[in-house]
């Protein structure tokens, strides 16, 4: 079984570049998860589309615990996760990529830990460095070789969604040091850390955030931008696997 997995976010629904794919249903105490396993060159890779193949699961209802536990159970040690994001800064433009090294958590209603007392006990997981520096280095190297604009480091602000933000919220996130805003990296990264897995995020910048963009933000803007960059995103992920 593979020790590396890709969690595909908005627009990344199929393991297109993997060969000899097969599907498994992995049962976890949090629910069943469909995992596709395949090969990229001679590397075995697992794949889960976070929002389902048909984008039917919104960010606040993703079963993050089942997904991460399923990957842990099959032996995955490293995860590359994609996430569509809005930019808080005119230097970070749609079509650029940012590899978050920190997050600010503004989620509200999510099951955000495997440790709920009882048999599991009370555990306070260190989160000083949430995103894996080795995975970031690998993605950055791949991005350079593919001539893509990839920023290594930045603060991912995670909102609850599914609504987009107000202009005032975005102004606040900017003041707090946020670089990009999305709806999925928390608690995914925290759960991976709790299980001792290395987790890297590729933030795909699809738009300027609310109040920074000169026009009203729509989901179709995000989807259209993802469609435009999907080939590039796939190449970036797969090229990163080599390192
Ligand atoms: N805000 C939140 N999530 C997003 C955005 C945004 O502007 N763009 C893509 N995902």
19 pLDDT higher than 80: yes
Q: Report, as an integer, the average pLDDT of 29-37.
A: 96
**Pick from 39, 37, 66, 38: nearest CA to 50:** 66
**Pick from 129, 14, 107: nearest CA to 62:** 107
48 pLDDT higher than 90: yes
Tokens read off for 222: 């995000």
Share of the chain above pLDDT 90, in %: 81
Q: Which of 78-82, 93-97, 105-109, 227-231 bottoms out in mean pLDDT, i.e. has the lowest?
A: 227-231
Q: Report, as an integer, the average pLDDT of 24-48.
A: 95
The pLDDT score that the predictor gives to residue 62 is 96
DSSP 209: P
191 pLDDT higher than 90: yes
Q: Give the Å distance between the CA of 203 and the centre of ligand 1.
A: 10
Q: Give the Å distance between the CA of 101 and the centre of ligand 1.
A: 18
Measured from the CA of 209, which atom of ligand 1 is nearest?
7
Query: Which residue's CA is the nearest one to ligand 1's atom 10?
Result: 85
**Pick from 130, 134, 136: nearest CA to 192:** 130
Cβ-defined contacts of 52-56 (< 8 Å, 24+): 52/13, 53/13, 53/14, 54/13, 55/10, 55/13
- State the CB neighbour count (10 A cutoff) for residue 14: 14
Measured from the CA of 183, which atom of ligand 1 is nearest?
3
104 pLDDT higher than 90: yes
Q: Report, as an integer, the average pLDDT of 115-137.
A: 93
The pLDDT score that the predictor gives to residue 136 is 97
- Average pLDDT of the residues of the chain: 94
Q: At what angle do helices 219-241 and 133-145 cross, to 10 degrees?
A: 100
The pLDDT score that the predictor gives to residue 11 is 82
ipTM: 0.99
Cα separation values, 87 from 1, 43, 100, 130, 233, Å: 37, 33, 12, 20, 17
The pLDDT score that the predictor gives to residue 213 is 87
Q: Give the Å distance between the CA of 183 and the centre of ligand 1.
A: 7
- State the CB neighbour count (10 A cutoff) for residue 139: 25
Measured from the CA of 87, which atom of ligand 1 is nearest?
7
Give the residue, out of 164, 165, 202, 217, with the most ligand 1 atoms within 8 A of its beta carbon, to mutate for a pocket test.
164
CA distance 143 to 230: 14
**Pick from 167, 229, 174, 188: nearest CA to 67:** 188
Q: Kindly tell me the sign of the dihedral angle through the C-alpha atoms of 97, 13, 242, 145.
A: negative
120 pLDDT higher than 90: no
CA distance 130 to 199: 8
Q: Kindly tell me the sign of the dihedral angle through the C-alpha atoms of 207, 210, 215, 220.
A: positive
Q: Give the Å distance between the CA of 187 and the centre of ligand 1.
A: 16
Query: Which residue's CA is the nearest one to ligand 1's atom 2?
Result: 182
The pLDDT score that the predictor gives to residue 16 is 78
15 pLDDT higher than 80: no
149 pLDDT higher than 80: yes
Q: Report, as an integer, the average pLDDT of 216-228.
A: 90
CA distance 180 to 92: 8
Q: Report, as an integer, the average pLDDT of 120-128.
A: 92
Measured from the CA of 83, which atom of ligand 1 is nearest?
10
CA distance 112 to 116: 10
The answer to whether 15 and 6 have CB atoms below 8 angstroms apart is: yes
The pLDDT score that the predictor gives to residue 53 is 81
Pocket of ligand 1 (CB under 6 A): 84-86, 159, 164-165, 181-183, 206-207, 209, 217, 222
Query: Which residue's CA is the nearest one to ligand 1's atom 6?
Result: 86
1 pLDDT higher than 90: no
């Amino acid at each position: 079984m593979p020790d590396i997995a890709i969690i595909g976010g908005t627009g990344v629904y199929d393991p297109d570049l993997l060969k000899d794919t097969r599907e498994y249903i992995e049962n976890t105490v949090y629910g069943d998860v469909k995992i596709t396993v395949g090969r990229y060159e001679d590397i075995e890779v697992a794949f889960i589309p976070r929002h389902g193949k048909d984008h039917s699961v919104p960010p606040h209802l993703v079963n993050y615990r089942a997904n991460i536990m399923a990957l842990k159970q099959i032996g995955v040690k490293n995860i590359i996760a994609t996430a569509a994001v809005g930019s808080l800064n005119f230097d970070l433009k749609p079509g650029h990529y940012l590899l978050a090294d920190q997050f600010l958590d503004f989620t509200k209603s999510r099951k955000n830990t495997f440790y709920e007392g009882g048999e599991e006990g009370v555990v306070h997981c260190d989160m000083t460095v949430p995103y894996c520096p080795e995975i970031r280095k690998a993605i950055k190297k791949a991005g350079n070789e593919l001539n893509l604009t990839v920023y290594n480091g930045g603060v991912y602000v995670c909102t609850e969604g599914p609504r987009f933000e107000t202009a005032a919220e975005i102004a606040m996130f900017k003041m707090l040091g946020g670089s990009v805003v999305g709806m999925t990296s928390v608690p995914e990264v925290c759960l991976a850390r709790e299980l001792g897995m290395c987790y890297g995020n590729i933030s795909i910048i699809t738009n300027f955030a609310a109040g920074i963009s000169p026009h009203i933000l729509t989901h179709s803007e995000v989807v259209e931008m993802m469609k435009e960059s999907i080939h590039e995103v796939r190449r970036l992920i797969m090229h990163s696997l080599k390192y």
